[in-house]
Amino acid sequence: MSIHYYAPKTLAEAISLLSEHAPQCMILAGGTDLVPKLKNDAAAPRALVYIGALGLSYIRQEGSRLAIGAAATWSMLTASSLVSSCAPVLAETAGMPATSSPGIKNAATVGGNLATASPAADLATPLLVLDADVCIQSVRGARTVALRKFFTGPGETVLQPDELICEVSIPHCLGISVFEKIGRRKAMSISVVNTAVRVALEDGCCRDVRIALGSVAPVPLRCPLAEEMLIGRKPDRELFKACGAAALRASSPIDDAAATAWYRRTAGAALVARALGKAAGLPDTLEK
């Protein structure tokens, strides 16, 4: 079967192509998830729409928000001084060897990580704690979806077949955000469990808290009940341990080839506690 390839130069052209060819078309950016699927016939679209030439690789300030174009790569996040000052957790997550390798990060995009919607997506959890919005375009116009409402299942999102993620938009966030993950090796490691947290303190007590978990549910998960436990409380190691356990109680990890549900729940709770401690500025007794 013959596949058509399009490399539109404008957004209008791109969304028109998607509208014309949906649902048999796929959007190609870095291709790090799509091309392996094409190669083993897990995907067989009739058309590929390459979005690398649309000028969607920007990272810029828009008012008080940080706007990251959907085609910005992981390497761009790490190299961006704007990301390092406004949302350093993204630069750290994209920069750590555990999340991937330089050859992948030079191609893999922010939009692609969200659109592929693996429950283990390493950028999803930090973006969730940063209260990110996903900006989407189609021939029907633009719409914005809060990231916490974006994922609907493993590999599934609210995106319609003819819709394109254009931008991820992040508000100015108070506090310190931390991302932690556990994988099976030091680099290029799919998360067995990952977490991101954000803690903003006021007068020594937690004022804003966000906790997100990956790889322990069908979607990357916010944990509002665990977050509420901490509001108004002083940072405390035992409290954070209890909070980590509460966060994992709200999840539904499974046994799979990488790890068991028991491991994910146990290690995940400890990971959340450790991340909260780091975000709240507690000295970390575990790190050597």
Partner 1 sequence: MNYMLSFIVNGTATDVVVTPTETLLDVLRDRLSITSPKRGCETGDCGACTVLVEGLAVRSCITLALTVQGKSVTTVEGLARDGNLHPLQQAFHDNGASQCGFCTPGMIVSLAELLEKNPAPGRDEARSAIAGNLCRCTGYVKIIDAAMAAGSIKEKGGPL
Is residue 187 part of the contact set for partner 1 (CB under 8 A)?
Answer: yes
Q: Which member of 14, 22, 31, 74 binds partner 1 (CB under 8 A)?
A: 31
Shortest separation between residue 4's beta carbon and partner 1, angstroms:
5
Candidates 81, 57, 78; CA nearest to 67 is 57
Stretch that binds partner 1, among 104-112, 129-137, 154-162, 247-255 (CB under 8 A): 104-112
User: How far apart, in whole angstroms, are the C-alpha atoms of residue 55 and residue 53?
Assistant: 6
Q: Which member of 55, 102, 232, 281 binds partner 1 (CB under 8 A)?
A: 102
Is residue 2 part of the contact set for partner 1 (CB under 8 A)?
Answer: yes
Is residue 8 part of the contact set for partner 1 (CB under 8 A)?
Answer: no
Is residue 188 part of the contact set for partner 1 (CB under 8 A)?
Answer: yes
Residues 259-278 binding partner 1 (CB under 8 A) are: none
Q: Which member of 16, 106, 116, 169 binds partner 1 (CB under 8 A)?
A: 106
Q: Which member of 103, 153, 232, 281 binds partner 1 (CB under 8 A)?
A: 103
* Residues 70 and 110 sit within 8 Å (Cβ to Cβ): yes
The set of residues, in sequence order, having a beta carbon less than 8 Å from that of 99 and lying 6+ positions away, is 74, 93, 105, 122, 181, 189
User: How far apart, in whole angstroms, are the C-alpha atoms of residue 193 and residue 258?
Assistant: 10
Is residue 58 part of the contact set for partner 1 (CB under 8 A)?
Answer: no
φ, ψ dihedrals at 272, nearest 5°: -65, -45
Q: Which member of 28, 164, 182, 192 binds partner 1 (CB under 8 A)?
A: 28
Q: Which member of 10, 12, 35, 228 binds partner 1 (CB under 8 A)?
A: 35
Per DSSP (E only), the strands in 41-163 are 47-50, 59-62, 65-69, 133-138, 141-146, 151-153, 156-157
Stretch that binds partner 1, among 4-12, 55-63, 213-221, 228-236 (CB under 8 A): 4-12
The set of residues, in sequence order, having a beta carbon less than 8 Å from that of 159 and lying 6+ positions away, is 115, 136, 165
Is residue 139 part of the contact set for partner 1 (CB under 8 A)?
Answer: no
* DSSP secondary structure, 216-246, as one string: SSSS-EE-HHHHHHHTTPPP-HHHHHHHHHH
Contact residues for partner 1, defined by CB under 8 A: 2-5, 7, 28, 31-32, 35-36, 38-39, 48, 50, 52, 75, 97, 100-104, 106-107, 186-188
